[in-house]
A and B are shown apart, each in its own frame.
Chain A
Amino acid sequence: MHTYIPRKPDRTGKVLVGLGLFFVVTLLVLPLVLIFFSAFRSGWQLFTSNLMDSDMISAIKLTLLVAVLTVPVNLVFGTLIAWCVTKFQFFGKKLIIALIDTPYAISPVVAGLCYLLLYGNQGLIGGWLDDYGIQVIFAWPGIVLVTIFVTSPYVARELIPLMESQGNDEEEAAILLGASGWAMFRRITLPNIKWALLYGTVLTTARAVGEFGSVAVISGSIRGQTNTLPLHVQLLQQDYNSVGAFTAALLLASIALLTLILKTIFEYLQNKKHTTPA
Chain B
Amino acid sequence: MLPGFKLSLGLGVFYLSLIVLLPAITLVLQTLEISWDEFVFYLTDPRLIAAFKVTFAAAACASLFNGALGLLLAWILVRYEFPGKKLVDTLVDLPFALPTAVAGLTLSALFAQNGWLGRWLVPLDIKVSYTFIGIVIAMLFTSIPFVVRTLQPVLEDLSLEYEEAAASLGASRSQIFRRIILPHIRPALLIGMALSFVRSLGEFGAVIFIAGNMPYETEVVSLMIFTYIGEYNYPAAAAVAMLILAASLLLLLVIQVIQSYYGRRHRKI
Contacts and interface: CB of A to CB of B under 8 A. Distances in A.
Interface of A: 2-4, 6-9, 12-13, 16-17, 19-21, 23-24, 26-32, 34-35, 38, 77, 80-81, 83-84, 87-88, 90, 96, 99-103, 105-118, 123-125, 145, 148-149, 152, 168, 171-172, 175, 181, 184-185, 203, 206, 209-213, 216-217, 230-231, 233-234, 237, 242, 245-246, 249, 252-253, 256-257, 259-261, 263-264
A108 B204 contact: yes
Nearest to B141: A27
Interface of B: 1-5, 7-9, 11-13, 15-16, 19-24, 26-27, 30, 69, 72-73, 75-76, 78-82, 84, 86, 88, 90-95, 97-103, 105-107, 109-110, 116-117, 141, 144, 155-161, 173, 198, 201-205, 208-209, 222-223, 225-226, 229, 234, 237-238, 241, 244-245, 248-249, 252
For the complex of A and B, the 9 pairs showing the least CB-CB separation, nearest first, are: A107-B202, A210-B99, A181-B3, A212-B205, A114-B23, A84-B8, A213-B204, A256-B97, A230-B101
24 contacts: A4-B158, A7-B79, A16-B75, A16-B80, A21-B82, A23-B73, A24-B88, A30-B110, A88-B2, A110-B27, A110-B222, A113-B27, A113-B241, A148-B19, A149-B23, A175-B1, A213-B222, A234-B208, A237-B209, A245-B105, A246-B105, A249-B102, A256-B102, A260-B94
A105 B27 CA distance: 15
Secondary structure type dominating chain B contacts: helix
B142 to A, nearest CB: 11
Given A4-B79, A81-B8, A34 B110 contact: yes
Contact of B248 (A107, A233, A252): A107
A87 B111 CA distance: 50
Given A107-B222, A116-B229, A210-B102, 18 more contacts: A2-B160, A7-B80, A9-B76, A20-B72, A99-B20, A101-B252, A105-B252, A107-B204, A108-B222, A109-B226, A118-B23, A125-B22, A210-B101, A213-B226, A237-B209, A260-B94, A263-B93, A264-B90
Give the most central of A109, A245, A264: most B CB within 10 Å.
Answer: A109
B198 to A, nearest CB: 6
Contacts, number: 277
A212 B30 contact: no
A117 B8 contact: no
Contact of A31 (B23, B27, B110): B110
A160 B2 CA distance: 17
A24 B145 CA distance: 12
A156 B158 CA distance: 29
Contacts of B5: 84, 87-88, 90
